[in-house]
Amino acid sequence: MYCRNCGLEIDEKASVCIHCGVSAGKGDKYCQNCGTTSNPNEQACLSCGVQLAGTGKDWLTTLLLSAFLGYLGIHRFYTGHTAIGVIQLLTGGGCGIWALVDLIMIVTKNYTDAEGNPLSDVKI
**Total domains, the chain:** 2
Q: Where are the beta strands (DSSP E) in the chain?
A: none
Q: Is residue 44 part of a domain?
A: yes
Q: Are residues 37 and 12 in the same domain?
A: yes
Three-class DSSP category at 38: coil
Q: Is residue 8 part of a domain?
A: yes
Q: Are residues 33 and 79 in the same domain?
A: no
Q: Is residue 42 part of a domain?
A: yes
Q: Are residues 69 and 49 in the same domain?
A: no
Q: Are residues 46 and 14 in the same domain?
A: yes
**Which pLDDT does position 80 carry in this prediction?**
92
Tens of pLDDT, residues 21-38: 888 777 888 988 899 998
Q: Are residues 48 and 65 in the same domain?
A: no
Residue 112 to residue 38: CA distance in whole angstroms? 22
Helix (H) / strand (E) containing 93: helix 82-95
Sign of the Cα torsion 27, 67, 115, 58 reads negative
- Per residue in 76-101, is it b (16+ CB within 10 Å) or e — as a string? bbbbebeebbeebbeeebbeeebbee
Q: Is residue 29 part of a domain?
A: yes
Q: Is residue 9 part of a domain?
A: yes
Q: Is residue 117 part of a domain?
A: no
Q: Which domain holds residue 70?
A: 59-107
Q: Is residue 124 part of a domain?
A: no
Tens of pLDDT, residues 51-109: 776 656 888 999 999 999 999 999 999 999 999 999 999 999 999 999 999 999 999 98
**Which pLDDT does position 123 carry in this prediction?**
46
